[in-house]
Amino acid sequence: MDPLRAVHLGPRKKRPKQMGTSAASTLHDIRFQDLVLFILEKKMGSTRRAFLMDLARRKGFRVENELSDSVTHIVAENNSGTDVLEWLQEQNIKATSELELLDISWLIECMGAGKPVEMTGKHQLLVRGSSPSPIPVSEMKTPPLAVRKISQYACQRRTTLNNCNHIFTDAFEILAENYEFRENEGSCLAFMRAASVLKSLPFPVISMKDTEGIPCLGDKVKCVIEGIIEDGESSEVKAVLNDERYKSFKLFTSVFGVGLKTAEKWFRMGFRTLSTIKSDETLKFTRMQKAGFLYYEDLVSCVNRVEAEAVSVLVQEAVAHFLPDALVTMTGGFRRGKMIGHDVDFLITSPGAAEEEEQQLLHQVTNLWKQKELLLYCDHIESTFEKFKLPSRKVDALDHFQKCFLILKLPHQRVDTDRSSQHEGKGWKAIRVDLVMCPYERRAFALLGWTGSRQFERDLRRYATHERKMMLDNHALYDKTKANSPALPRRMFLEAESEEEIFAHLGLDYIEPQERNA
């Protein structure tokens, strides 16, 4: 018998029949029918084992709760092949050569790849006497995937919507939001960066060992990770979700036009519900907040991609009415491939428009929608853009292009013609829409700035400043290394016709929009 290939299940002790054991492994779709896994609890613990079993099942693997004749692979952690064989003997299971004994690293790589990977020597558990110099699995030099060089900058990581670490990133985002509500910028950024880097990993973190070599994971972050690995949840997150202040701020800021200062004011005044706020006659609301309350139910519900595409048609039709050659691009999360969002952003530019035509366009478009009774709310912000003004040093700075923040009436018939007559009620949905008008020669910078996630854009600007001695914002890229040259100041501004050219100026590999979900 080749002890490396492990064992077949022979006669064993009778065990009490467990109801629902087989059903547990079929709650998720099984994609790999030829593999039947059993994860050994020894030296792992029941909580961690349950965590790993659930992750593997979500990835399409069949994992048995109990060892049975159908099992093809036994996966263990911190055990040698000899340890596993001894455990099998204790269970009165006879060993033959039809079962694979594998280290947990194999399963981790499988889940990272989304499919079974080849079993190599580094994965197979060695049995004493099977090689001249047996190496315990715990001492094998198997570099984990996490050790691969991972940049501290989100703009050097490819982050798709395929997040393997939701259990951690969801927790981090709740904690970051709570720190933001408390105006603790440092802790907020720490958890935002941690969430960002874990989203980019092609494998799930299932042990603290997996976090070795990963940047942006400080002690506080690692404590949360460890708690989730051990208990399946974070006690800190549970405390936040039950905190009255957090719940109140979360509710208040869900209203369009309500920021942290207003939320703080209402909380200190003793308000805890929106109904009591709306009914209080002593409170004064801004025009934006009034619209936020008036269309609250629509605005608090997500915008789906079908609705976003319908709004896109609405915007393109209106813009083309005044500037036929204008380019209208949907930006934000929908350009990154998201299926839902809270609003829809558009960048508008025209290669042939005069400056006066650019300045008039957004006003003309909103006036047209007003005539058609599609405009529910409008806030115009006029352009303060200056051609040779240096880019902002602030990583979160807003741009100076002309823009307007809108609430549009989207008729149901524009979303689903066949079923529009079946809709009950008002026959339309209020949708938040942001329009940005930029000069054609600055379209690449604006498109880049309005596409990436918040963390991606922050890190792109940080990278430009700290690694390339440049200044980047939504308007321009400025090279400070040429500041002392005798050339004209405008030579310090680097031109770009596309996003690809901006990445090239920065010495970065190009990151596709759908990979900017940091």
Q: Which sequence positions are flagged as catalytic?
A: 343, 345, 434
Which two structure tokens, joined as six digits, stand for 2?
């080749």
Task: Report the interhelical angle of 166-181 vs 260-268 (nearest 10°).
Answer: 70
- Tell me how crowded residue 212 is: count the other CB atoms within 10 A of its CB: 12
Q: How far apart are CA 439 and CA 430, in angstroms?
A: 29
Which two structure tokens, joined as six digits, stand for 225?
């990770």
Collect all residues with Cβ–Cβ distance below 8 Å to 385 and sequence separation of at least 6: 399, 400, 401, 402, 438, 439, 442, 475
Q: Please count the CA atoms within 13 angstroms of the CA of 10 that sit on its side-chain side.
A: 12
Looking at 470-515, which runs of residues are DSSP E strands?
A: 470-472, 477-479
**What size, in residues, is the chain?**
518
Q: Do 247 and 263 contact (CB within 8 A), yes or no?
A: no
Instruction: Identify the residue whose tokens are 């109904």.
Output: 275
Collect all residues with Cβ–Cβ distance below 8 Å to 62 and sequence separation of at least 6: 25, 30, 32, 33, 35, 36, 37
Residue 170, marked binder: no
The bridge status of strand 340-341 relative to strand 303-304 is antiparallel
Q: How far apart are CA 216 and CA 426, in angstroms?
A: 48
Q: Do 41 and 119 contact (CB within 8 A), yes or no?
A: no
Instruction: Identify the residue whose tokens are 């079962």.
Output: 99
Q: How far apart are CA 319 and CA 138, in angstroms?
A: 64
With 0-12 / 13-18 / 19 or more C-beta atoms within 10 angstroms meaning exposed / middle / buried, residue 386 is exposed
The bridge status of strand 344-349 relative to strand 428-437 is parallel
Collect all residues with Cβ–Cβ distance below 8 Å to 94 and sequence separation of at least 6: 7, 8, 9, 10, 11
Q: How far apart are CA 116 and CA 136, in angstroms?
A: 24
Through-space distance between the first and last CA atoms of the chain, rounded to whole angstroms: 50
Residue 83, marked binder: no
Helix (H, G, I), strand (E, B) or coil at 102: strand
Residue 75's closest CA among 57, 98, 95, 49?
Answer: 49
Residue 345, marked binder: yes
Which two structure tokens, joined as six digits, stand for 369?
């929608």
The amino acid present at 503, given as its one-letter code, is: F
Q: How far apart are CA 159 and CA 338, in angstroms?
A: 12
Binding-site residue ranges for Mg(2+):
343, 345, 434
Binding-site residue ranges:
343, 345, 434
